[in-house]
Each structure stands twice: as structure tokens, then as C-alpha cells.
Structure 1
Amino acid sequence: YFLNDDVDGGNLIGCLDKQIGEAAGCEGVVYDCLDMVTAHQGLGISTVDFGDLAEDYSAALDDHQAGLAPNLTDQDKMDIIGILASMAPDIVEDPDNNLTVYQRVGRKPAILGLIGKPGEVDSFVDNVANDAEVNGFFGATNFDRLNTCLTRQVSSIDGPIKYGQEVDAPPMIDEGVNAMAKCLDMCTSHGGLVDDMDMPITINDFGALVTDLVTAMDTAGVAQEDKDALLAALGPLCPQIVADPFSCMFNTQDLVLESLGVNTEIPDNAYNGALDSMLCVDLEVMDDGDGFDTVANASLELGVMHPWVGDLTIKVEAPDGTVFAAMSRPTLPEAADDGTDCCGDSSDLAPGNPVTFVDGGMFDAEQMGGTLGNMQVVCLNDNQCEFFPNKGSAISADEFGMAFGGKGSIGTWRVCIGDSGTGDVGQLVDVRLTLNETDAQFCP
């Protein structure tokens, strides 16, 4: 609870002194800090936590009596501890020591043992040290630091420890870290890491580490529900650890963003490569607090009325400004993405026959309408409705996943359509952008 860099130790000691001093009737001492309920709300302090604190305070009183306060009587000490004990109802939020995984697995002492070090048989790190599949990554490891950081990481899942906010701890506590050498985030600590064969971390390596952790938890007697909770919290870190983040298995859900009945004319022959020369529809993603705020992939469905599909360019812009070209003037071998060349495919688009762009789609967006004649409608007359993106001459990633994978989903997305030919006027009717979101955490 205290070895985090957002704890004001001086203020904490001062307030505790005032609290005990006022309760003990010390002359001139007034407690003017937060009340106990407010000061400890949300900390999840358990009965055993409070008991440890009282025990530490009692030991400090013994030292004080033996040193600076020889006149402090045993009854005085009992009275002071009694005052402290009377505060328990306002401080303890977990009376049965079982409301969090942190408490149920035995708090920091048990987690320290679970993580362990090489030679500490059946601990996680000892399992790793004996695992030929992954031990090549740990040849130059400071195992004191590794034990501390992994312990703090696991303890931070629903416990009081704050990973990355280490302080100068007392001797033999949180070894290997200090205020100037804090535990590193996953991207920094694993970026570019290779084993003794100069191979990067793979999804198989990550799986081996998970197996070693599960084995350690089984040996330690961690309950299944708590193992599941710990793995559920650590699993989303996979994309920050392995060299290929998209090899990870992670939870996903689709967020569908729609603007139906747009019915707005696409500026005729206005496209010059820039988004401001296109008709754009804004789609807003709010933070709903569910943790699914990172994009794994995306797809786009458009309902368009236009008599010359080869005039059209379609782009999507993410909240961070990344622009992806889903289609660029089908069948036209453009010299540049500037709208100057002529002319692409002459078939039509109709809103009743929407076209979809998705990674791995059945047909090439660059060939949209290529088998049709003038006045025939894409999707309706050729049954080709689903296309994989093709950027043409645009500067863009090749796929939605390559463009947007790992980026934040919250903010304003823009779907834009531009026209590069004169005389054939069309409308954007319906827009449906689907974001496949994940709760996994990616590196920038």
C-alpha cells in the first residue's frame, strides 16, 4: 500500500501522529486530515492487512519505549493500540480477506513465492529457468529485479501495488528497483528482445511462459477462478510482448458505426488526392469504459449511387490521422493519386446493392466492375459484392488490419469518397464502418 510513488510518506506519518496524539489526549494536538472512511475508501484493505499494520505499530511502540520514551508504560502502549483498533470499522473494506484475487492468493508474500527465482523449486521463474523453450531469453537477467517487477505486476491486477511507480524501498524489499530504476512497461522491456539463438519472442514462446505460470499456480494451490482472473488480466499483454502482435489470441467484439440516408452529392471531378476534396462522413466513437478501445481490424460497407465506378476513390481516416485507401478508381492504372487520369471502369453503383471492403474479400477492388458493361450495376449484375482493398496509386497500407491494427478506436473516424471524372454525378447514400475492437494492449 505504501511503496508507490504517489504515496506522500511525510503527510501519511504526520496525519497518523496527529490522529493517535489527539485520541491519546496529547496537549495541543489536533487531527485535521481526512476522516478514516474517506482516506481509505477504495483501497480494499482487509482484516489481515489491518492486523499487520497494528502489529507493525506495536513493534514501533516497543522500540520507542526502549529508546526515546522510557517512561512509556505497557498500559500506554495497550491504550494506543486500542485507539488504533477502534478505527478498524472505518478502514477495513474486506473483512473476510476474500474480495480480490490479491487477497485470496495470499497477498504480496505469497505472490513473491509464486514468482520466485531460479532454484526456488516450483516457482514460476524456476520453471522458466528449466524450460529449454524459453530460458534462452533470460541469460543476462537480473533475477532480483525480475522477481520484484513480476510480483508487482501480478499484485497490481486488483491489489494495492502500482506497477511502474516504484520507490526507494527498505533493504531487502523490492530488490532490483528504486525510484530511479522503475519497472519497465511491456513494450520497452520486450522490444527487440532475442534469445541466445538471436530469435525474437514468438507466440509459441509466450504460450510456454503461460504454461510455466499455470504450473506454478497449480503447485501453489491457486484456485481455478483466481488462475482464470490472473490469466485474463495478463493475456491482453501478449501483443506488447511478442514480435508479431497479431499472432496473439485476444478477445474481440465488433462496433458498427453507421450513417444511413446520407443522400449527399459527391463533388463532381473535384478529387485531387486530399481528403478535403472528397465528401466525408464523420463517425464518432465514444469511450464506453468496457476496455475494448483498440482496433484489431475493420471493414467498410457503402451504398453509393453513381454511373461510373472508375471515377471513385474511397478512403477511411482514423482518429489519429492515419488514412487508408480502400479503393482507387477501379481498372485505371493511375500514375499518381491525384485524380488527373482517365478513365476507370464505366459500370454503375446502386445503393440497393452495397459493396463491402474487407481484408481477405473475395474480389479485388481494383477490378470492381471489370466484367460488366456500361449501365450494368456492380454486385447486382455480377454477384461480386465483397472486395479486398486495393489502394491503387495511393500512399496507404494494403489492408485495414495493417493500417489500423493496434490503434485506438476512440474519437472521430471519417469515411470519404471522391470523384475524378466530369459529367457523371453521384451520391453517397449509406455508410457502415465496422471496427473489430479488442481489449488487448498494443505498443505504439
Structure 2
Amino acid sequence: GDLTILLEAPDGSTLPLVSGPGANTETGCGDSSDLGSESGDYNPTSFSTISFSSNALTDAELMGSGTGGASIICDAESCEFFPNADGLDLGSTANFSGTQISSFEELYALGSGVNGAWTLYVHDGGGGDVGVVQDFEICITYTSPTEVCGISDHTDPLEIPNGTIADCSGGIPDLSDALAVPVDVSGIPMDAPIVDIQATLGLQHTRVGELSAVLAAPDGTAIVLFANPGSNTACGNMADFGEETGNFMPIAFDTITFLDSGTNDPELMGDGLMDMDRVCPGPPCDFFPNADGTDLSMTLNFMGTQAATFAELFPQSDALNGTWTLYLYDGDMAATEVGTLEFAEVCVSHGPVPQPPGVPVCYPSDNPDFIQIPDRPVGGCVAGIADLADAAVVTTVVDGIGSAQAVTDVSVSIDIQHTWVGDLTLLLQSPNGTTLPLVHKAGADTETGCGDSSDLGSESADYNPTSFSTITFSDSGSTDAELMGDGLGGTTIICDEGPCDFFPNADGLDLSTTLNFAGIQIASFADFYPQGDGLNGTWRLFAHDGGGGDVGTIEGFEVCITTATIPGQPPVAVCRNLTVNTDCMNTVLPEDFDGGSFDPDGDMLTFSLDDPGPYPPGVTMVTLTVADGTGGTDDCTATITVVDNTTPLIECADGLTLNFNGEDFFAMEDLEKQLVPVAFDGCGGDDLTFSYEPAYITCDQVGEVIDVEITICESADPASCTSCVVPVTVDGLPCGWMTWDDHIDCPGSSADYDAPTETFLLTSADCSHLPYSPASEEYAFVKTILCGDGEIIAQVTGLNGLGKAWAGVTMRESNDPGSKKFQVMTALDYLQHRVDWRHTTDGINQSQSYSRYGQHWLRIVRTGSIFQAFTSYNGVTWGVPVNTQVIPMNECLEVGLVVTNVPYATNVTASFNHVEVTPPYVPMSPRGESPETEATGVDQALSLQVFPNPTTGQFTLNLSAFLGQDAILEVMDINGQVIRRLSLGVIEHSTEQLDLFGQPAGIYVLRLRTEDGTTAVQRVILQPRP
């Protein structure tokens, strides 16, 4: 009763085992019984061995109770106790700096932290009696983890790409520049607790300091294993991984392993070594991960989250099955420093999957064939088992008992066939050799001495089993195994006529004399229970035939184990990462980080954080501590990602007008400042992104008002966004039409277009050009492009201004006043019609005036170098040309509308309707779509245009959509027969002329194929010649 005994774990957790047992006695000094004995001079002559555990049945406070005096405790009573501090509080004890706990179970959470120095403190709190400690021992039962590994799948070493920058600027600018190596891991059971992760690499590189390695789990969470070791120099340490030949071929690799418990810092990898010295010529080469400041959030093409340790991945459990990716990045572009990867291996270790308490879990044997029970080679029966090697053995593996579970029931079921049950002895053996005889020669007190003759299952005439009986043994069995088959006899099958569940009965069997038996014999299933999770492992069923002449077979068996949670277990903390939206700062509750924490024995949990917040935008790591109210705690780490959900502050335009002047489209992103003059992040950031719907406004929308929705997002993930709608008025000229400030030496002129009426309005500003004037050419001019043969048609419907004027259509090489040209004009009957032309650049302008009263539809047709002018009343009937000229001009011409004044008249506006250019202008798609490809699809393809169609023979192809591409043109008849194939080479001109002269009238198909696989098809109708 003088003694207080304390046990201190390596981390300082201290468990009082006993404190002054029996101290409620009259003396106040506790129980007076002895431990061990001593001589008259106080020297010990014997020692008592006392044990403390959670499973003991005796309270340590009762140690020596009822003994007293000089009685030695362990001579007369049990020496196994469960701890009882009896109110001891170490908080006021000098020189105690640890944590007081109340049970062994609280030490379980230490895991591998139980490794290290344990200390036993023995304190004597009463004077006059003395004692000695001989020694003590700690016994720890644990479950070895199961390891599953995956290794990269490649035959040859993989070359690590050289970097794209010089002199090792640090970090990983772009993950796509790294070597990416997949490693597949599988076999982690659902909900299995993860206890360790490690990665092993076989590396060769001529400068270790250039390399960075990142390992990403299947969900994208990535750990930087190392980053430019020794990077206090320009490119880190100069030592090598492995060896290479003079031509940079690897001849040896260094094997390095990374795990949280690694002994070395990778930042010191190669520290103190010289160039060409190997970092790891031999073991040990294990390192803990060290990112050395590398922030993957700054790395392009990295879409995951960054973790600092492997332990942060443990909560994912079986989600770690899948494809891991190793990234190896070379931070220097020097071609003299290169390397290769021999292999990458990822190993995940997990513990057993805890089973729900109170639920029996059965573990069947997996023997592929029936197991024959060896028959006794001679007739008659024998008692006992002479040699265990004579028995049949069937095995099964138990692997689901957790360390926090107590075993509450064990049973076994056996599928068996035998023609004389009384011959059989059945034994069940746990992994540590503890053996329970289930039955021994049932009914062996019969006259034959060979036990009951009833059968288990049935067999054919040639002794092959045709059916099996299932017999079950448990402590709660309804029938004594010794009575198996009692009252049946003969060939009666036991399980057809009587009970098949039994409690064990060894019937006097003593295995201590059995050869090849080295275990411990027990009498009931309950004797297995104290082993707890020690029952994980291989179980064996022995079947021995002690009588000759009858045979049998085992189909299989299963062991069923029921468990319950051990009271007083500490909680298990499970974290989850949080992403929250907030106004720049945020505070959350500790419970928000809970990802499924639980207490094995159902205690109420409370949660606390090492950093309660508020948290700034970005990622913050926190530690969640879970307490169960009985002193048990556990913690885990998580991250909180605070997303700034303060929407950007914006001011959008009330409206915007776009004026097309030759543009095919406007990209809204180019108009950002006009659409949104003011935009900034409400939390002070400046990284905003803009998106637009629609993203483009095209020239064929002239005349419309388009509502453009602009969405502005700040840079967080997920982003916080706001939007507005700006009405955009689409004004200006139709697709392909444009003008210049100086027109044709007529500055101040203007051109406009009224989309609803399809009317061009062209105003000349104080410009004139009389017929037959050789020089001083001045016109207002709006134009488009015509390449190759074609025509322009327009109706002049008005001339408004202070004086008289001419308006018409033109074809010319440029807007230079001296350009070659051909044009026809009308004055709406105020003056004569006129045709002007110029054969040579800067040559004399020539004119012809003629009277065509009322014919204000004008037309020019170009065929090669031949230009013809026509007039018409109605745009349908044209008659013969009013003028024809042969003028060699460029392939592509500026064609369009012109107006000029009579001298001294100003500001005359001409209106034009029914303006048509053939072939028409084909605008470029804003998304760069090309004709009929797999990427665009037929519905987005540009067409292959043909003019005229139908044709009497000659026609022109518009190839503007295929400029710069190498192409072949095929002409096929209606039956698909190719009648002409033309290699166009690289298309440099927007038109190509063909002639089907000599072919019969009908339908033909043109097919254009480019070298990139693009195909465009058009049908042509060939009419008979008149």
C-alpha cells in the first residue's frame, strides 16, 4: 500500500497503474501485504510478477485485499490488474511535464509513436518499508499493415525533357514541360485506414540540382518530393543521380525513396559532393518530402491542390486506388545536363477494415478442391491422435478484426462427408496455435470402441462424395458434440435426422502427447476471445480419422467472429478540406472541417481548431482536434480555401455602335474598354477575366441591334462573377464593302448603307470629273473585291444635292486616280449616260457618252481582259453591251459604286439599290472554320462556290476559303466517274476557271481536297449550248 507506479510513453503520456492500494485502511498507508520476499538484511530473495492490462479482471486498488501482513500477494491470488489511479492527480506533481491518461486504450492513437523509450516510475509514499524493482517489460499487440504497390509500365528508361529556360529560375513554370509518368495502384479495400505511403524512383541525371519531382494522387492532390536540391547556387547541387556514358546513355541508376518518416532532407541531396559524385550509390537513400518553397498554384497546367506530406492523403482511403502521376521537371535548358527515369513505384500501406460492432463476420476457406481425410491404414480404432501430421488440414484467413474491437463470439461451420462419424476428431486452431478440440470420436463408448456409426453426408459406390453435411460448433450450440449421431447409427445421415449445431467436447482428449502439436489446448471458444485482433491471420481445421475402413472428405469450412467495440477508445479524427465563399475574409466553425470523425464506443465528440480564423483569401492549413469527453483526443489536418465571392465592381456602357468598313467581324474581347469602361475586384485584386456572349459580331448582322452579355469574374477558384448586357448597334457597310478617307482623290466624301432597304448612299464632297477629262479624276467610291471573272449590277435610284452629277458602277485596279479602270454611269436623264475607261496606269482617261433614257440599271461584266457595260430598264433585260473594252488588269480588282459632281456643284448623294457582285464576297469565319472537317462538321463548313451555275460550259470557282492550301480538284459525272483531275498546287488566287466544253449536258460534281484532309463538294448543272 506504500506504492504508486506510473508508466510513461515516449511522448510523455503517463498512465498511473496503481496508487496506494487499500489506502482506506486505519493506518492510511494502504494494504500491508508483500510483493516478493527479502532476507533479514533487506536483500530481496524473490520477486512477484504483476501485470497490468485493460483486459484484466481485478481492480489494482484491491491489490492484496484480504491478505495482509507478510503474505505475498502473487502466491495466493491473481497478479493481473486493470489500472486504477484512485484519484491521483499528477497536475500538481513537481517535475511532471507530461499528459496524464486513464487507460491503455488512450495510447493506441500513438501508432508508431509507441516506438521509443518508455519509463516506469515507482514511488514509495510510506516510511519504514522498502522494496526493489528487478525489471519490467512492455508488451504491445499490433496489426501489420498490408502494402499494395504500383509501378510504372515502360520497357525502356524514359528521357527527362530538358528545361525551356536557362539558369534554373526555380519553381515549375509549366507542368506540361515535365516528364509525366503514370503509376496505377489498386487493391486498397473500401474504407481501409491508410497508415503509410511511399514513392520510390530509379533516377539517372547529371545534375541533381536541376530536378524537381512532383507526385500527384488520382484526385490531383500533389506533393512536391524535392525541388532543385541545393538551390542556393544557380542550379543547385552538382552531384549526379546514377551514371551515364560519354554519349549521355544511362549505365546505372540511383534508387531513392520518399516517405513522411524518411531520415534525410532532399534539399541536402548531394550536399558536399562534387560533380559526377553519385548521390545514392547504395542505401540508405530515404527522404521526407520537401517542396523547398515551390508553390504549384503558380504552375501552368496544374489543376489540383498541393499537399506537404503523404499523411494528408490518408483520409482518401480507397480513393487512392487509380492512376498516380509522377512529374519530373528539369529546370535548365543546358543540353549537357540530362537524365532518365528507370522506374517509379508508389506503395500504399493500409490497416484492416474495421467491422461494425456486434456483427458476425465469416471467413470461408478458399481451398480449390475437396480435402480428403486420410483413413487409418489398419482396422480397428485408436484413442487420441498420435501424430498431428496424419490429419487433413484446411485453412482460412481472418483479417477484419480491428485493434479497438473485443471479440465476443467465435463459431465454426464445416461442410463434411464421412461414413463413420465416430472415427473423427476435429480440431480448430487460431493463428497463434491455440487449439480447441471440437469433437473426439463421438459415441466412442459403443461396443466397437470406434464411436457412433452414423454418416455425415453421402458418397457413391466408388467412395466419391455426393453430398455434404454442414455441422456448426459454438459455445452456444444446442447439443453436446459427444452425442453427435446418438441413437441413429448405420448409414443414417446425421444432419437429416438430428441437430447439426454442437458445443465442443474433447471427451478426455489430451494433445500434449501428440507429435507435431506445439500449441496450447483450450476447452471453449471463449478462450479465443482475449486474443482480440491477434485472431487475424491463418486458422486451421484439423480432421483426423482414428478408425480404419471408413473414409471422408471436407468440402470447406468457415470461421465466424463477432466483435464489439472496446469501451474507452479514443476518437478517430477525419478531416475534410473546405472551400468557402466569403467577402474577402471568413470565419467557420470547427465542425465544418469534420469529414466523418467518430468515436469507436459512441462518446459525444467536440471539435476545436488550432487556428479559428478569420482566414484570408487563398489556402490556409488548420489542425482539427477531436475530443470524446473522457480524455481521448485525436487530430487531423485540413485546408480551407477562401474564395473571394465579392463580385467585381463594374460600369458598363449604355450602348455601343459598331461601323463595319471592310471588317468580316468584330471580336468583343477587342472592345473591352468600350463595353465595360470600369471594372475592378472589390477585394483589391486586379486579375479579372472577361467572357462575352456572343463573342463575335459579324458583318452579315449589319442593321441589327445585338445584346452582348459580358461576364466579368475575379481570379478565385471557383470564381465570383457579375455580368451586364450592352446593346450594340451594328452599322456600316455590308460584308466585304469598304471605303477610304480619300476615296478617289475626293477627301471628305462618305458612304453609308441602309440595311432594311438594302440601299447604298454615296456622297461626293465637292468633287468632279467631266466626260473626256484626261486628268483630275475625283470620285466618291465604295468598293469590294472581285477576283477573276464576274460582274457587278446596281440600280441608281437617286441623286440629291445642289447640282447635277453622275453615279454608276466601276471595276478598277485601285483607288489611285491614275488606275486602270472601266466604269458606266448615269445622271438619271439630267445628263447623258457615260462610259469611262483607262487602258494603262496613269494613262489617258477615255469617255463615251450616250443616251439611254430611263435605263438606270447598270452592269459591268468582266471576262478575262474583256469588260462590257450594259444598261437596263428593269435589271432583267439588258440587251447588247453599250461599250466593250479590252483592258489587261490584275486578277483581283476593286469593284464598286462611284459618284462625281458637275464642276462647282457640291455634296451630291447618290442612292443605289439591288447592288449585286458575282461571285459574292465570302467573309472569314470568326472562329477560323474551314470547309467540312472532322473538327467543324458539315453544318459549319464554308461552301465551294461556282459562278455561273447553271452554265453552258465555262464557269469560275471561288477558292478564297482555301488560299494557301495545297489542293486537288476533281470533276465527276452523275455516276461518280472522275472525268477530270486537276492538281492546283498551293492556291494563290481566289478564283479558278474551268470549261466543260465537249461534255454532255447534265449534273456534275466538283470535289476539292486539301492536304490537311479538308473536303468541299459542289454540284454544277451543265446546260446545252444555244
TM-score normalised to the size of structure 2? 0.20
More strand by percentage: 2
More helix by percentage: 1
When Rg is computed on C-alpha atoms for both structures, the one with the higher figure is 2
Q: Which has the higher contact order (CA 8 A, sep 6+)?
A: 1
